[in-house]
Amino acid sequence: MGIIKDRFKEKGDALAAEIKDLLKEHGTTKIGEVQLSQVYQGMRGITGLVTETSLLDAQEGIRFRGYSIPELREKLPKAEGGTEPLPEGLFYLMLIGELPTEADVEHLTGVWQRRSHVPNHVFATIEALPATTHPMTQFVVGIMALQTESEFSKRYAAGMSKKDYWDAVFDDSMDLIARLPRIAAYIYRRKYKNGDHIQPNGLLDWAGNFAHMMGYSDESFKELMRLYMVIHADHEGGNVSAHTTHLVGSALSDPYLSLAAGMNGLAGPLHGLANQEVIKWIYEMREELKTEAPTSEQIADYVKKTLEGGKVVPGYGHAVLRKTDPRFTAQMEFGKKHMPDDPLVQTVWNVYETVPPILQSLGKIKNPWPNVDAHSGALLVHYGMVEYEFYTVLFGVSRALGVLASLCWDRVLNFPLERPKSITTDLVKKWLKGE
């Protein structure tokens, strides 16, 4: 663990020094203009954040430290006998900024295994909730119960120096990532498998062990979990879960509090909950049409009905992307390799053929193409994970990798409290009148 922490601190200090020089020389350089409409419309297109771990291009999709998803699938270390990248490797890349060696990844697997113990009171707190509670609520409650373990908050209370914040945030982030799969698997088995829990397997990698604890021993499901945990991890800094974690962390709320806040944002249907909504929407369509394999015409009619009902087509559209999400494409490739004849997966592909032209014809939707959530559920259903209300928790375990790596960077770079300016419409009217 010491090795990765030392490397991170070295990289952090170097970048902090560079930023200091950069701001000294160019701090007053203008990098954009803001239009009134942007202020009213979700701040789209306003550059206002620094996130080092990944960058999104509207046409090409996400790159993690410069590497696209196809490149990561090729270059990151794999599990023995596997072909999908290990999430440990992606975390290392986001944290250190360089591709890891096999040994770095093995080291991280070991660190996370050693730090994965979840105290009993966390399970007891989850148990206090009715089993009917949405899994995302149980997940956030679990993270909050685990906050008793925060090194950052203990050290802060004991008078920690500013220069050590990064160190405590780093430790908390590692502990959290190590423990989240256990909490998530506990919620899954509690809600859907009569509380018949499965103990961790210390010989498995982080995602493989997560699959095992949820009760899936199939090797290709483990591969799916590795891919899933990689592609959902980060999507630059402005999306709701990343931005919220960063914002709350800027108040020096510890990583447990910050991540829980981000996860509450991920639980919204326009963000992470869209993955459950997609499967729900397809199930409802199949039920209404009384067929497992709706035709393109039937799908088109159902899409129109959805739109007429004043609802969004889940899994389609994006605030920044303007092309098919490469995270969708990676899952489609996985489907073609492992389950090309699965009827639900084929429906997802049919929807992909049918929906974009319809959305495009409306004229108002900026991106008619599918996002990551349009595909993920169908792959899970193939392996028997039909409990779609749980899907956002999987997204959350993965998203923790990106937002916590970013939180470590926020503290090592000493980023200040985030506090943008807000205005009232009265003030806008005065500005416009020149008052």
Active site residues: 271, 318, 373
Range 183-210 burial, b when 16+ CB lie within 10 A, else e: bbbbbbbbbbeeeeebebeeebbbbbbb
Q: Cα 43 vs. chain centroid, distance in angstroms? A: 21
User: Should residue 399 be labelled a site residue for ligand FCX when binding is judged by CB under 6 A?
Assistant: no
User: Should residue 388 be labelled a site residue for ligand FCX when binding is judged by CB under 6 A?
Assistant: no
Residue 54's nearest CA partner among 97, 18, 85, 14 is 97
User: Should residue 364 be labelled a site residue for ligand FCX when binding is judged by CB under 6 A?
Assistant: yes
Query: Of 185 and 321, which has the nearer Cβ to ligand FCX?
Result: 321
Instruction: Choose the binding region for ligand FCX from 66-74, 176-184, 290-298, 366-374 (rule: CB under 6 A).
Output: 366-374
CB of 260 to ligand FCX, least distance (A): 18
Q: Any idea of the CA torsion for 427, 430, 432, 435, to the nearest 10 degrees?
A: -130
Query: Of 246 and 318, which has the nearer Cβ to ligand FCX?
Result: 318
User: Should residue 238 be labelled a site residue for ligand FCX when binding is judged by CB under 6 A?
Assistant: no
CB of 100 closer than 8 Å to CB of 76: yes
Residue closest to ligand FCX, measured at CB = 317
CB of 84 to ligand FCX, least distance (A): 20
User: Should residue 271 be labelled a site residue for ligand FCX when binding is judged by CB under 6 A?
Assistant: yes
Spell out the residues 6+ positions from residue 335 whose beta carbon is closer than 8 angstroms to its own: 342, 345, 348, 349, 375, 378, 379, 382
CB of 375 closer than 8 Å to CB of 338: no
User: Should residue 373 be labelled a site residue for ligand FCX when binding is judged by CB under 6 A?
Assistant: yes
Query: Of 198 and 320, which has the nearer Cβ to ligand FCX?
Result: 320
User: Taking CB under 6 A as the criterion, which residues in 302-321 touch ligand FCX?
Assistant: 307, 312-319
Instruction: Choose the binding region for ligand FCX from 23-31, 133-141, 265-273, 405-413 (rule: CB under 6 A).
Output: 265-273
Residue 285, amino acid: M
**Full DSSP string of 181-217:** HHHHHHHHHHHHSTT------TTS-HHHHHHHHHT--
CB of 286 to ligand FCX, least distance (A): 19
Task: Report CA Rg, the chain.
Answer: 22
User: Taking CB under 6 A as the criterion, which residues in 239-258 touch ligand FCX?
Assistant: 239
Query: Of 181 and 314, which has the nearer Cβ to ligand FCX?
Result: 314
Q: What are phi and psi of 120, to 5 degrees?
A: -60, -30
Q: Which residues of the chain form contacts with ligand FCX (CB under 6 A)? A: 239, 270-272, 274, 307, 312-319, 364-367, 371-373
